[in-house]
Amino acid sequence: MTEKDTTHFGYREVNKDEKAGLVAGVFDSVAQRYDLMNDLMSGGIHRLWKRFTIELSGVRPGHSVLDIAGGTGDLAAKFSRLVGEAGQVVLADINYAMLTVGRDKLLDHGLAENLAFVQADAQYLPFPDASFDCITIAFGLRNVTDKDQALGDMLRVLKPGGRLLVLEFSKPKNPLLSKAYDAYSFSVLPVMGRLVAGDSDSYRYLAESIRVHPDQDTLKGMMEDAGFARVEYHNMTGGVVALHRGVKA
- Binding site for S-adenosyl-L-methionine, by residue number, is 72, 93, 121-122
Encode 59-76 in three state secondary structure.
CCCCCEEEEECCCCCHHH
Residues annotated in a binding site: 72, 93, 121-122
Strands of 241-247's sheet, edge to edge? 115-119, 88-93, 64-68, 132-138, 158-169, 241-247, 229-236
Q: How far apart are CA 223 and CA 137, in angstroms?
A: 13
Q: How far apart are CA 116 and CA 118, in angstroms?
A: 7
Nearest to 165 by CA among 76, 56, 81, 71: 56
What count of other Cβ atoms lies within 10 Å of the Cβ of residue 4?
Answer: 7
